[in-house]
């Protein structure tokens, strides 16, 4: 389909590389690619760091028998089971500058003005990254928490006896033993984030302009709004290639035996 001039109004009549030539000669494509990588990078940094912080807190809380640690883990995981379209609506209600916008109502009450979180290029990308981090943190926390549980307590007890500080324990025990799980988290979260659609569709619909239109959303708008089925299929192939490259890097890094073991 990506090699045809098909639209939703007619079937393809010509086979050529015209769609790919158009894509790779379009400035909009490279701008959208830049937006996509910005969204993915920002989401990954926030998601992994916050997921690691929560995993550490929950893990230590459970080890010390603190009441509420298990409940905290369940609460964080609840954001993961909410559909992405619903998450987008939730954050839209929070961030919009219309009268029903909760956060802007508070800001307006205190400072006398509103912040266009969803309509300004300056804030829109940050808004969708924060929303995506909120729903993706649970995934990272789950993977990293499972890695923390595999670290023997004897290692920490021996480090304490040797006089190691909390930071030294984190640097020389926790991080080395979590490195495999961190990379798994990064690889899977990167693929999931590259294919994000529902959250951004309901939160900003790619706006303002193209400032939050990631590649997966651009495939949708090309096919169902611009009716270019062939060109949208070519964009989908480009997205597939990006995902394959990430998967191949993941496979090469671990090797077949390590992946099977995990």
Helix (H, G, I), strand (E, B) or coil at 14: coil
The answer to pTM > 0.85 is yes
pLDDT at 36 (0 to 100): 95
- Listed residue (133, 96, 125) closest to 32, CA to CA: 125
Q: Report how far residue 193's alpha carbon sits from residue 188's, in angstroms, rounded to the nearest whole number.
A: 9
Please state, in angstroms and as integers, the Cα–Cα distance from residue 35 to each residue in 23, 40, 223, following that order.
16, 9, 20
Give the pLDDT score at 157.
Answer: 87
Q: Given this model, what pLDDT does residue 59 score?
A: 87
- Say what the pLDDT of residue 166 is: 86
Report pLDDT for 66: 83
Q: What pLDDT sits at residue 247?
A: 85
Domains of the chain: 18-83+119-261 (1.10.3720.10)
Which DSSP category does 17 fall into? Answer: S
- Quick one: how far is CA 259 from the chain centroid? 22
What tokens were used for 47? 């998601």
Scored b (16 or more CB within 10 A) or e, 136-161 reads: bbbbbbbbbbebbeeeeeeebeebee
User: pLDDT value at position 19?
Assistant: 94
Average pLDDT along the chain, 262 residues, taken 10 residues at a time: 88 85 94 95 94 90 80 79 89 88 90 90 93 92 91 88 89 90 89 92 91 95 92 95 88 58 44
Q: What integer pLDDT is reported at residue 257 of this predicted model? A: 44
């Amino acid at each position: 389909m990506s090699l045809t001039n098909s639209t939703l109004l007619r079937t393809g009549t010509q086979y050529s590389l015209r769609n790919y030539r158009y894509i790779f000669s379009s400035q909009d494509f490279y701008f959208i690619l830049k937006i996509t990588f910005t969204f993915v990078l920002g989401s990954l940094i926030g998601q992994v760091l916050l997921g690691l912080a929560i995993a550490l807190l929950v893990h230590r809380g459970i080890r010390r028998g603190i009441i509420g640690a298990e409940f905290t883990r369940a609460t964080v995981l609840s954001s993961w089971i909410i559909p992405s379209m619903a998450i987008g609506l939730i954050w839209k209600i929070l961030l919009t500058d219309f009268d029903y916008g909760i956060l802007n109502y508070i800001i307006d009450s205190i400072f006398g003005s509103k912040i266009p979180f969803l309509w300004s290029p300056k804030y829109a990308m940050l808004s969708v990254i924060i929303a995506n981090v909120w729903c993706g943190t649970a995934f990272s926390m789950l993977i990293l928490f499972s890695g923390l549980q595999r670290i023997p307590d004897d290692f920490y007890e021996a480090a304490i006896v040797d006089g190691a500080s909390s930071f030294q324990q984190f640097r020389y025990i926790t991080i080395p033993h979590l490195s495999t799980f961190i990379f798994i988290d990064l690889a899977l979260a990167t693929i999931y984030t590259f294919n994000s659609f529902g959250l951004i569709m309901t939160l900003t619909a790619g706006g303002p302009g193209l400032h939050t239109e990631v590649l997966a959303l651009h495939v949708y708008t090309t096919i169902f709004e611009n009716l270019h089925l062939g060109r949208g299929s070519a964009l989908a192939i480009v997205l597939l290639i990006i995902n394959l490259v990430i998967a191949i890097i993941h496979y090469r890094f671990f090797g077949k035996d390590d992946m099977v073991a995990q």
